Amino acid sequence: MALPPPPPGLDLTESRVPQINGALISTFTLATVAISLRLTARHLKGNPIWTEDWLAVIAWVASGVHCFISISYMVPNGTGKHVWVGPPVAVKAWASGLFVSEIAYTFTIACVKWSTLLFYWRIFSAKKSIRLPIFVLAGIVSAWAMAVILVTTFQCLPPHAFWQRYDPINPMNPKDFKCGVVLRPFFYGNSVPNIITDGFIVLLPLPYVWQLQLHRAQKIAVGGIFALGAFVTLVSIIRLSIILTIDLTSPDITFNFNDAIIWTNIEANTAIICACLPALKPLLSLALKGTLGSSGASKPSSGPVGSKYASKSKKGSIVMGGFSDASRASRGPSGLHKDTKASDDDRPFVRLNETDSTRGVDRDVELQNLNYDASKTIMVTRQFSVGNSRM
């Protein structure tokens, strides 16, 4: 495909390759660190790798594919430079790289959102009011991802015509293919639902965080961690505004599209980082307090809940009161936990050992961190003997 002459005064030595490589490598490295810390936190707490963790890993892999295609294939073949100084395959390399990158980007964003919604479900699903919004948002994200991938794949028929038409040696005859997707409306259809769902996902947990029995400062801190996802929404808006300013009819597409490549990767990697932050609480506790947070072996705290009652847990004394909805939902009719071990999923709970008198086994009880006030607190104890079926 013959190129028109370059515009007068154009600096053909200009290159955006350093900016592309710098932005992609730095943000993907941070995303890698975030994923590694997330899995490390799970391991140190002795927790399993949850489904939302695996989705975050899949998002990281998809983002890695995007970065690899951009740095190892598109850039060496002319992307980042003016088309007149690039190799003959520059436009074809840009088009084929864009095709793969768009699919990888969609997988990354969708998996991050699914991971976040699953995290909300595990933490807040005892509140029935949050279940429907989670299902609705998960359905919208799934429909959006499927639509974007299908439109990207079949925007030209046959699909390989999207890049093969730019082949400098053997370009496809225009009569042999049809590209019926108008790119600018497609970019709107891709980005706008993405931005809207970002906003709803960020706002969804905040009312439930405010209902936790925590100090006001702790509520603000926890809510702030969730609200950091708003930064991803801002990046998505910047990306859309940049893409809409690109002259897609210009022959110098290998240079004009650079900012879109940079901000698309920044958005994907930032989304992974923000999705990992709530899971890093144990590491934060380890760094600030020297412990991984509360556990079944934690030392009794001062006051009636800690010293007087928790010390009797081995004898079968149970301290009740202040249970969260999530903890109430996990207890059976007798008030005991249904599972022999309640997994610590980074909720703001402390644990006491509880002995099941009918089965002679130790169980974990999750209690909310309470501000003890003797004038307002009611303590209920229950005594029983190990191996005795009567209480």
Query: 205-220, pLDDT tens digit by residue?
Result: 888 877 776 677 767 7
**What CATH number does the domain containing 136 carry?**
1.20.1070
CA pair distance 24, 70, nearest whole angstrom: 9
Q: Going by C-beta distance under 8 Å and a sequence separation of 6 or more, which residues neighbour residue 23?
A: 262, 265, 266
Say whether both 216 and 353 belong to one domain: no
93 is a domain residue: yes
- Check whether 158 has a pLDDT greater than 60: yes
More confident position, 349 or 74: 74
In three-state secondary structure terms, 31 is: helix
Total domains, the chain: 2
**What DSSP element (H or E) covers 270?**
helix 258-276
Compute the average pLDDT of residues 100-112: 96
Say whether both 196 and 98 belong to one domain: yes
- Check whether 72 has a pLDDT greater than 90: yes
CA pair distance 26, 109, nearest whole angstrom: 19
pLDDT at 21: 96
Using a pLDDT cut of 70, give the percent of the chain over it: 72
Long-range contacts of 167-175 (CB under 8 A, 24+ apart): 167/89, 167/92, 168/1, 168/88, 168/89, 168/92, 169/88, 171/1
Burial 151-186 (b: 16+ CB within 10 A, else e): ebeebbeeeebbbbbbbeeeebeeeebeeeeeeeee
Say whether both 62 and 198 belong to one domain: yes
Q: Going by C-beta distance under 8 Å and a sequence separation of 6 or more, which residues neighbour residue 236?
A: 191, 194, 195, 198, 267
- Check whether 349 has a pLDDT greater than 60: no
Using a pLDDT cut of 90, give the percent of the chain over it: 47
Total-model pTM:
0.73
CA pair distance 343, 294, nearest whole angstrom: 12
At which of 242, 265, 289 does a domain end?
289
- Check whether 164 has a pLDDT greater than 60: yes
User: Which residues span the domain enclosing 273?
Assistant: 17-289
Say whether both 252 and 320 belong to one domain: no
- Check whether 191 has a pLDDT greater than 80: yes
Say whether both 285 and 317 belong to one domain: no
Say whether both 238 and 359 belong to one domain: no
- Check whether 11 has a pLDDT greater than 50: yes
More confident position, 223 or 151: 151
At which of 263, 289, 315 does a domain end?
289
Q: What is the pLDDT of residues 170-186, one digit of tens each?
A: 889 889 999 988 888 88
The answer to whether 28 and 67 are in contact (CB under 8 A) is: yes
Say whether both 313 and 277 belong to one domain: no
Q: What is the pLDDT of residues 240-274, one digit of tens each?
A: 999 888 888 889 999 999 999 999 999 999 999 99
